[in-house]
Every structure is written in C-alpha cells, then in structure tokens.
Structure 1
C-alpha cells in the first residue's frame, strides 16, 4: 500500500513538473514570437527613415544649381543626415533609452529638412521646378509612412510589454535579457510636438 502511494506521489510530481514545463515553454515561445514581431517592425521603421535619408541628397542636388542658395543650410542638412544614417540600434536591446537616442537624431534631421524647405520657398524659380516638386511630394509621403510605421511599432511594443508584465509571466521574462521591456516612440522629444513637414504653402 505504501509502495503504491509512493508511486502515485512520484507520478503526480512528474506530471506536475511536466505540465509546468509545458506552460513555461508556451510562455517562452509566445515571448519569442512577440519579440520577433517587434524586430520585424523595427526593420520597417528603419526602412522608411532610410528612404527619407535617401531622398535628401536628391533635394540637395536639385538646389545646388542655384548659385546664391545659402551654403550653410546645405551643410547643416548634410551633417544632420550623416548623423541620422550613422546611428545603429541593437534590435536585441530596444529599451526606452535606445529608442529616444534614435528618435532624437531623426528629429534633428527632420528639423533641418523643415528649415531647408522653408528657405527654398524664398527661391520661387527653384521651388516651382518639376524635380523639386516631385521630391517634395515623395518626402511628404515618406513622412506619412514614418508616422504609420512608428505607430505600428508602438502597437507591437504595447502588446509585448503588456503580455510580459503580467504575473506570473514577468517572472519568466525576467530570466532572459532579450525579453526586457521595450521602448516606445513618443511625441517629439523635449517639446512634445509631432514632427511636421508642411508642403501646402
């Protein structure tokens, strides 16, 4: 009788360990899936920012032909673009600090582009050319795409953070560095205003 009870107890313990193991692996696998979704979406964010960076040399080349255009403005936008394209973010460490660094550099480029376009308005012959008009439209479309991809990224981050911070999942998530909380894109750093490029004028 004692031997039978011992076997039942040992069997119950093994079954319980097996069930807990399945439950932990299920949570782990779901965290992996959500984490990979964030990395994929981060790739989309980087793609649209790269598209904007790729349009800028074309804008600059269109303007360079104007002999009396402010050279200082061109230098500033080139420097801002260089900084924006040189920043590399580790996709395994997309914490709030990393996202803020990336966002701040991109906002500096956005501000330089906005100032550049405002100055170009003082050159009606230049701003009315077909090439410049088409580039403005492409840049405007890219800015819209950036906002869409950032919002999608934030949605993925929100789902991941909500899932990983629920008890008892947070205990499992805290055992793995790659499952640390992810950072969000925020409204414009410091001023809390969304970046705006206005081509309507």
Structure 2
C-alpha cells in the first residue's frame, strides 16, 4: 500500500473518531440540559399546586383569626411575587420569591396554632395535610433538580467535555439554594 493512502486512511479514521466524540459529547450535554429543564418543570408543578392551595388555607384561617391581617397580607404579597417571578423567567428571582412564600406559609400555620377550634376544623386539617404532602414533594423535587444540575455543571466544567460545552455555548445550571439570610429560623410573633 502506498504511504499516502495509509496517511489518508489514518487521518480519516482520526477525523471520524473526533466527530463521534463531538456527537457523543454534544448529545450528552443536550440530554443533561433537558433533564435539568424537566426537573425544574417538576418543581414548578408542585409549586403551582401549593400556590393554588394557599388561598384556601388563608381563607380558612382568616375566618378564625380576623385580627391577624399582617400575616395574610404577607402571604398575598409573597404569592404575587412568586407569580411575577414565574412570568419573568428568571430562575434566581423565582427561587427568592418561593423562599419568601415559604416563610409566609410558616407564619400562617403559626397563627393557626393559636386557635384550637381552627386546628380541630376538618377542612383546615385536610388543607394542612395536603400542604404538608406538597412540601415533601417540593423538597424532593428541589433535591432532584439540584442533583441533575450538578451533573450538568460537572460535565460543562470537566475536561474534555468543557471543549464541546464551549463550542456549543452550553451553560451551567443554577442551583435551587436558600439565601443565607433565609436560613435563620423564622420568628413568629403575635
């Protein structure tokens, strides 16, 4: 065989290997990016269910605790902020708004603790149970999202996949984190 033909075959094989590596790396990054989007969508579904449940809880507690209007205003404002953040598409803004809503829900439930007849109300107990179930699902969905985001981020940053990520403009995913100020135990006062 002619040395030129052998050189051409070697070059073609190397180019094919590089092309296969690029295709495989690109497909892996696309898969991870879509898993991150899906994981966020699962969080979003749970948060929507919670947002739909909150007015029922607030209205039930309002019936018993008329003079606790500040707590109800906080929940309403937090829920409005979540809706606005959802429409903006900014993940960090949404995470902050959801954290504020979490705090407001804790305050409503704390108000409910001060009213024994409310705690005995079957409707309130059912709503509280539904909220508790949703909070567990949200916590799991957030953890799953962060796990998938971590896999994407490692792939985007690791060599040699970072070359493919840079070529095709793949970006790291934001983690669902609680702000440092929000890690403090909320103080509820009546």
TM-score calculated relative to the size of structure 1 = 0.83
User: Displacement, 1:20?
Assistant: 0.6
Paired residue for 2:4, among 6, 10, 19?
6
Paired position in structure 2 for 1:185 = 176
CA distance in 2, matches of 1:195, 1:134: 26
Tell which deviates more after alignment, 60-69 or 31-40: 60-69
Kindly provide the CA deviation profile for residues 42-80 of structure 1, in whole angstroms up to 9, marking residues without a partner as x: 110111111111110111221333473422322221111
Paired position in structure 2 for 1:107 = 99
Q: Is the CA contact (8 Å cut-off) linking 1:80 and 1:108 kept in structure 2?
A: yes
CA distance in 2, matches of 1:185, 1:104: 9
Paired position in structure 1 for 2:69 = 71
CA distance in 1, matches of 2:93, 2:34: 22
User: Displacement, 1:99?
Assistant: 4.1
User: Which runs of 5 or more residues in structure 1 are unaligned?
Assistant: 91-97, 197-201
TM-score calculated relative to the size of structure 2 = 0.87
Task: Give structure 1 regions of 4+ aligned residues with deviation exceeding 4 angstroms.
Answer: none
Within 5 Å, give how 1:1-201 maps onto structure 2: 4-66=2-64, 68-88=66-86, 90=89, 98-177=90-169, 179-186=170-177, 188-191=178-181, 193=183
**Aligned Cα RMSD in Å?**
2.2
Greater fraction helix: 2
User: Which runs of 5 or more residues in structure 2 are unaligned?
Assistant: none
SS of the residue aligned with 1:65? helix
User: Displacement, 1:193?
Assistant: 2.5
Kindly provide the CA deviation profile for residues 93-139 of structure 1, in whole angstroms up to 9, marking residues without a partner as x: xxxxx543222110101111111111222222223211111111111
CA distance in 1, matches of 2:92, 2:65: 38
CA distance in 2, matches of 1:21, 1:12: 14
The 3 A distance-change label for structure 1 pair 194 and 14 is: farther
Tell which deviates more after alignment, 81-90 or 46-55: 81-90
SS of the residue aligned with 2:174? coil
